[in-house]
Amino acid sequence: MEKKIAANTARSKEKSKQRFLDAVGKILKTKGYAALKVNDIAATAGLDKKLIYKYFGGTDQLLDQYISSQDFWSNVKGEKIPQTITDGGKDFLTGMFLEQFDYVYKNKEFQKVLLWRLSQQRNSLKKLAEDQEANGELILQNITDPYFKEKSEDYRAIAAILVAGIYYLNLSTTYNGSIFCGLDLKSDHGREKIKNALSFLVDQTYENL
Amino acid sequence: MEKKIAANTARSKEKSKQRFLDAVGKILKTKGYAALKVNDIAATAGLDKKLIYKYFGGTDQLLDQYISSQDFWSNVKGEKIPQTITDGGKDFLTGMFLEQFDYVYKNKEFQKVLLWRLSQQRNSLKKLAEDQEANGELILQNITDPYFKEKSEDYRAIAAILVAGIYYLNLSTTYNGSIFCGLDLKSDHGREKIKNALSFLVDQTYENL
DNA sequence: TAATAATATCACTATTTAGTGACTTTGTGT
DNA sequence: ACACAAAGTCACTAAATAGTGATATTATTA
C-alpha cells in the first residue's frame, strides 16, 4: 500500500522544497545571482544537493520555480489604482514614482532581480519583464492614456525615462558608489533632491505636455 | 649587455600585451564579462596564458588595465564644450543627452561595461565611475552650475535621472526585450518618442526650475 | 655564428563545481 | 514490531578553471 505524504514530521518533501526555494532567495539577496550554485544552495538550505535534482530536476528548474513563486510587482499592482481620479492621475503617479524610488532602494532582492534580468537570458526572467509591462499597462491605459489622449505616447516616453532612471540610480548607488552627478544618493539630502526632481518633472509634464 | 626591446619583430612584448587587451575587448563585446577567463582570453589572443601572469600579474590586473585603457567618455569630454554659451547650455546639454542615448544604444561594449560595473566589485571599475563623475563635473561646474546658481543641485538631480534613464532604457532594450511602457525601443518611432521626451524635459527644466 | 636574454609554449597540479550511484535513516500501515 | 517506501546522506567521477615549473624558440649583439 502507498504511504501518505509526510507533512508535519521532520522529513517532509514539501517543507524541504520550500527550504530550497528560501535558500535561493537568501543567496540572491545576500550574494547575487552569480552565487546561485547547487552546492551553495544545498548548504544554505541545510540539505543535500541530490535532493535538488530529485525534487526540481536541477538548479535551473529550481531557479525557475523560485522566480515564478515571487511576486516582484506587488507594489505596482492594478488593485492600488484609486477609484476616483480627477487630476489625470497626477498625484497618484507622482506618489507611485516616489514610492518606487524608495522601494527599489530598500529592496536589495528586487535590485538583484533587476540585475539578474539584465545579465541572463532565462525564460522565466523574460516573463518577469512581461508581467511588469502588463502591470504598467493597467495604469497607463486606465489613467494616463485617457488624460493625455493623442499625447499619450509622449507621456509614456516620459514615464519610461523616469522609471528607468529610478532603477538605474538605485542600482548604481548600491554597486558603483553613491555619487551620481555630484549628488550623494545614499544621503537623505541627495535622495530628497531626486524626489523633488521627480515631482517637478511630473508636474511639468501635466502642465505643459 | 642588455638587449633592445623588440618592436617590429614577430615577438614583441608590447604587441603581445596589446593582443591580450584586444582579446578582452572582443570577449567582452561578444560574450560579456562573465566569459572573461584566463584560458579564454589567452586562446582569443592566440597566446599562452602564462604570459598574462608574466606581463600583467594575473587576469585581474589585465582587466584593470583594459578598463583604464578605454575611454568611454570621450564623447562627453570637456574638449567638446563650446566656448560661447549664451543659453545656459540648454542646446548643448540637450544635444549631449540625445547623443548619449544613441551612443549607448549602438555601443554594445559600453553596455557590457555598464553591466560589468553593476555586477562586480572591482576597484578599477569603481575608478571608472569616478572618472565618469570627473568628466561630468566639468560640464556641471562650468555650464549649468553658474546658470542655475542656488538651484544647481536641483538641476543636477534632474540630469541624474535623465542619464540614468538613458542607461537603463538601453540596457533593458538589449537584454530584457524592446518594449518599455508600451513603447518599442528598438523601433525608430519609439526611440524618437524618447528623444522628444528628453528634449521636452530639458526644455521644461530650463524654463521653469 | 655563438652566447644569451627575451619571448613563448607545454605539461602538469590544485581547486572548484555539477552531477550520480550506493547507501542509511525515518515514518507509516498492517 | 516489521516491512518498505519515502526522505536524506555520502563518497565518488568528470569537467572546467587558475596558476606554475621546466623547456623550447627567436632575436640581438658581441
pLDDT, one tens digit per residue, over B27-65 is 999 998 999 999 999 999 999 999 999 999 999 999 989
**All three cell numbers of A74:** 506587488
**Contact map slice: B 142-161 vs A, CB within 8 A:** 153-154, 156-161
Does residue A4 carry a pLDDT above 60?
no
Does residue A70 carry a pLDDT above 80?
yes
**Which residue is nearest to the C1' sugar atom of C3, using CA?**
B1
Task: Answer whether A161 sits within 8 Å of B158, measured CB to CB.
Answer: no
Does residue B104 carry a pLDDT above 60?
yes
Q: CB neighbours (10 Å) of residue A165? A: 27
Computed over its alpha carbons, how large is the radius of gyration of chain A? 21
Residue in the block written with cell 596589446: B18
In this prediction the pTM is: 0.92
Task: Provide the pLDDT for residue A6.
Answer: 52
Q: Which nucleotide is nearest to B57 (CA to C1')?
A: D19
Nearest to B166 by CA among B116, B89, B110, B123: B110
Angle at which helices B123-139 and B59-69 cross, to 10°: 10
Higher per-residue confidence, A130 vs A83: A130
The span from the CA of A41 to the CA of A36, in Å, is 7
**All three cell numbers of A76:** 505596482
A117: confidence class by pLDDT, cuts 50, 70, 90: very high
Does residue B82 carry a pLDDT above 80?
no
Does residue B72 carry a pLDDT above 60?
yes
The span from the CA of B140 to the CA of B126, in Å, is 21
Task: Answer whether B161 sits within 8 Å of A156, measured CB to CB.
Answer: no
Task: Answer whether B126 sits within 8 Å of A177, measured CB to CB.
Answer: yes
B77: confidence class by pLDDT, cuts 50, 70, 90: low
Among B32, B34, B161, beta carbon nearest to A162 = B161
Give the gap in angstroms from C-alpha B146 to the nearest C-alpha of chain A: 15
| Mean pLDDT, residues B131-140 | 84
Task: Provide the pLDDT for residue B5.
Answer: 60
Identify residue B119 by its one-letter amino acid code.
Answer: S
Q: What is the pLDDT of residues B172-204, one digit of tens each?
A: 999 999 999 999 999 999 999 999 999 999 999
Angle at the Cα of A197 from the Cα atoms of A195 and A198, rounded to 5 degrees: 65
Supply the DSSP string of A76-126, one letter for each residue: G-GGGS-S---STTHHHHHHHHHHHHHHHHH-HHHHHHHHHHHH---HHHH
Task: Answer whether A153 sits within 8 Å of B198, measured CB to CB.
Answer: no
| Mean pLDDT, residues A129-152 | 93
Task: Provide the pLDDT for residue A151.
Answer: 97
